[in-house]
A = this chain, B = another copy of it.
């Protein structure tokens, strides 16, 4: 009886060791590709993440009066409650116009090499200036924005406090910097994958681990790597086989519009896959609604692999393990408009 117990113990230890040996190997390989999301906002070059600036940025992010119509805030398309997206194929903007591409999440976006699907903005501050001015999105102008900000004394005061010593604190650049400071705090640590990376074997299920192994061994991680499991570099969509026009609209030439280099035709930034289970629909066209379908399309078009249904399920399960702790945001109370605040303008054209 005693002998039996000892044998059973030895066997269970061996099993545990074997599992650990596997996990350790998987973790070691994963650490060659990926990095865990940190608990705190990273330092930014050229932007001080002071509490004042973050708080101001939060207000600006949630303020619909930053749009020409008074209807849209950053939050409208980058909703902190649904993974930082709007859940639409492409966003609805001023006058019910549709944007050309699916709105990417701002969660963890601070870790991307550059912003937008084609990387045309080097950082989040530059990014923030885009939708504000895009006619199909917030349809605003820097002039009208500054008139709005300057019309509300609490905003003027907060710009002064957030950008101390500056001669002209209420500026379009500082507006963008404050939003960048807030967005830099919108990170989602402690996903099952991150816990596994940090040494917690049981954080991921066996299926998720199989998916992680496939993700690396089949080549997904060649593009989708780094802290955001993507978002680090640019690659042609349809490396092996071009997807159909429904998924890859022919009119959208991707990064070509930024670099005007023939090599960049249909080139996009590899999608960052953090919280990807929350951010349907997928691809820059937003036409694919199921994560599993998106994985299958990628396997076809980028890898040309012949994976089994089970393997695609496993990779999909792994992607689910990339969902982190979502940021807890207290909705800001915004300054009251004044007589000087420009009125909402909801027409499509100038009157």
Instruction: Please judge, given known A-B contacts A331-B331, A333-B81, whether A69 and B86 are in contact too, CB under 8 Å.
Output: no
Would B69 and A81 count as touching, CB distance under 8 A? no
Would B81 and A334 count as touching, CB distance under 8 A? yes
How many angstroms from the CA of A332 to the CA of B81 in the assembled complex?
6
- Chain B's closest residue to A280 (CB) is B337
Would A331 and B329 count as touching, CB distance under 8 A? yes
How many angstroms from the CA of A328 to the CA of B346 in the assembled complex?
30
- Chain B's closest residue to A346 (CB) is B92
Tell me, yes or no, whether A82 is within 8 Å of chain B by CB: yes
Known contacts A63-B82, A71-B76, A290-B339; 12 further A-B pairs (Cβ under 8 A):
A64-B79, A64-B82, A70-B86, A80-B331, A80-B333, A92-B346, A95-B96, A277-B336, A278-B336, A289-B339, A329-B331, A331-B331
Tell me, yes or no, whether A326 is within 8 Å of chain B by CB: yes
How many angstroms from the CA of A344 to the CA of B289 in the assembled complex?
11
User: Contact partner of A69 among B92, B95, B343, CB < 8 A?
Assistant: B92
0/1 string, A330-351, CB within 8 A of B gives 1: 1111101101000110100000
Instruction: Please judge, given known A-B contacts A326-B333, A336-B278, whether A346 and B88 are in contact too, CB under 8 Å.
Output: yes
Would A71 and B83 count as touching, CB distance under 8 A? no
Tell me, yes or no, whether A62 is within 8 Å of chain B by CB: yes
What residues on B are CB-neighbors of A339 within 8 Å? 289-290
Would A330 and B330 count as touching, CB distance under 8 A? yes
Tell me, yes or no, whether A254 is within 8 Å of chain B by CB: no
Interface residues of A in 41-78 (CB under 8 A from B): 62-65, 69-71, 76
Tell me, yes or no, whether A87 is within 8 Å of chain B by CB: yes
User: Contact partner of A344 among B70, B88, B334, CB < 8 A?
Assistant: B88
What residues on B are CB-neighbors of A62 within 8 Å? 81
Would A87 and B344 count as touching, CB distance under 8 A? yes
What residues on B are CB-neighbors of A278 within 8 Å? 336
Most chain B CB atoms below 10 A, which of A80, A290, A337:
A337
How many angstroms from the CA of A348 to the CA of B154 in the assembled complex?
40
